[in-house]
Amino acid sequence: MFNKIHRVFHHSSPFKMSTQENPPGKILVEFSSPNIAKPFHMGHLRSTIIGNFVANLFEDFQHPVTRINYLGDWGTQFGLLKVGVDLLKIPDEELKSDPIKKLYQAYVAANEKAKEDEEIAAKAREIFSRMEMEDTDDLSKWNQYRDFTVNELRRVYSRLGVHFDQYDWESMYRRRNIEPVLNALREKGIISKESDGKEVTDVDGKKVTVVKSDGTTLYLARDIAAVLDRERKHNFSQLFYIVDNAQSDHFRALFHVTQKMGINRQLRHVKFGRIHGMSTRRGNIVFLEDILNEARAIMKEKQLKSPNTKVNLTDLSDRSSDILGISAVIVNDLKQKRQRDYAFDWNNALKVEGYTGIMLQYTHCRLFSLAEKAGVEADESLNPHILPQTLCQDILQEIDKFPRVLENTRDSLEACILVKYLFGLCSTVSRCLKTARVKHEPSNDLKRQRLLIFNTARSTLSRGMRILGLTPLDRM
C-alpha cells in the first residue's frame, strides 16, 4: 500500500504502460458537436461535459487522445441562415461581435418568414443548391459565418475548461467529396437503389436511407465517410461518439455499415440521457454562456454572503465564482448515471453543503491552506513505525482504492463512480482533520507524517477533479 500512496503523491499514473511492450492505442473522442446558427442546447452541454471527462480519463491512462468537435454546417438551413441575415440586415461587425446569438436570430427570423411566404424556403434551397455547386459568393459568406462561430465557441469552451484538437465539419463530407465512398458501398452491395431512386442499406431487416432520391446525401453517408477518413488520418484503435440516447438507431446503422466495409476498429456510441428543467431565473436558457453566467452569478452571491470567503471578489481577474459555478454544473451532471434523464435544480447543484462540486473545491482549498500554514515540510515517504499515531489510516485506505476506482470508471465510462469516490475521500479527510492536528501538533515527526498524508489526499483529489474536467482552486 505504501508504494501505491507514494506513486499517487508524485502524480505518476499507476497504469502507465511500457512504450515498447503493448503501448496504449490511440483514442478519438467526438463530442459537443453543435450546429451553427442553432442553440447550444442541453444535449450539447451534456455531450461536452461527458466527452471532456472521457478524453481526460483515457489521457490519464496514457493513451494518445484526439478530441474532435464535429460541427453541423451543411444543409438547406444555411440557405435559410443567409436569407435571415439579409432580412434583418445584420452587418458583418455585429455578426462578428456576437455570432452565435445573431446567427440564431437570423435563422429564427427566416423560419418564421418561411411559414407565411413559400418563396423564402425556395430561396433558401436555391442558395444551398448554389453552395453545392461551389458558388464563390455563397461559399464565402458561409465560410465567414463558420469562422465567426468557431472563434466564439473556442472562447466559451475555454471558460468551461474544454479544448479540442480538431474541428471537423459536416461539409467536409458533402456529396462531391464522398463519391468514392458511395461507389465503394455500391460495389460491395452494401447499398442498393430502390424504385423511387433512393439508395438504402439493410440493417437488421430494416431499410435505412443513405442517399435520397434527388441524389443528396444524408447524415449517415457523411458519418460513414468520416469514419473512413479518420481511420486513414489517425489509425485509431477506438472512436467514441458522445451523443444522446435518441441517436441509437443512427449509430446502429453506422456501425453495421462500417463493419460490412471491413473496418475493424472499435466504434462506440457513449449514450446519455436528457436534462429537464434547466432554465435561468429570468426564463429559458438557450445558449451555453447563459448557463455559465447564471452559475457564476449564483456562486458570487453565495461568496458575498459567506464570512469564510478568502478571495477578493472586487478583483476583476478573480475567476473563483466562475470556476465554482462551472464545477457545480459539471459535478451535478457527472454524479448521475450516464443514461438516465434527470431534473436540474440550481439550488441543489450549487449548495455549499452536501455532495456537490462545491464540496470538492472546498476540501481542496482546505488542504491547500493546511499545507501553507503547517510550518514544516512534509516527509517524502511514510514511516510505518509512527503510522498508527497519525490517526489518518482511513485516508490511506481511501487512497489505496483510487487505482481500482479509475479502472472501474474506465471500463464502464460512468463518471459517477469516480464522483462518488471523491465525495467519500472528502468526507474521510473532513473527519480526520478534526482529530489529526498538523499546525498545533507538538511532535514534528507526526506533523510531517500527517502533512504527507493530507498532501497525498489533496493530490489524489486534484487528479480526480481534473479527470472530471474541474479546475482545482487553492482559495475560494
Active site residues: 38, 41, 44
Task: Give yes or no for a contact between 158 and 231, defined as CB atoms under 8 angstroms apart.
Answer: no
Ramachandran area for residue 202 (φ above 0: left; ψ -120 to 50: alpha; else beta): beta
d(CA 359, CA 422): 10
Residue 405 one-letter amino acid: V
Residue with cell 467536409: 172
Bridge-based pairing state of the strands 27-30 and 238-242: parallel
Q: How far is CA 128 from CA 138, 174, 216, in A?
A: 8, 12, 12
d(CA 435, CA 415): 31
Q: Which of 467, 444, 469, 464 is nearest to 363 (CA)?
A: 464
In this structure, the chain runs to a length of 476
Helix, strand, or coil (residue 200):
strand
d(CA 82, CA 143): 12
d(CA 258, CA 220): 11
Contacts of 402 by beta carbon, 8 Å cutoff, 6+ apart? 4, 8, 421, 460, 464
For residue 433 the three cell numbers come to 482533520
DSSP states of 63-98: --EEEEEEEB--STHHHHHHHHHHHHT--HHHHHHS
For residue 216 the three cell numbers come to 443528396
d(CA 88, CA 101): 13
Task: Give yes or no for a contact between 312 and 318, defined as CB atoms under 8 angstroms apart.
Answer: yes
Residue 305 one-letter amino acid: K
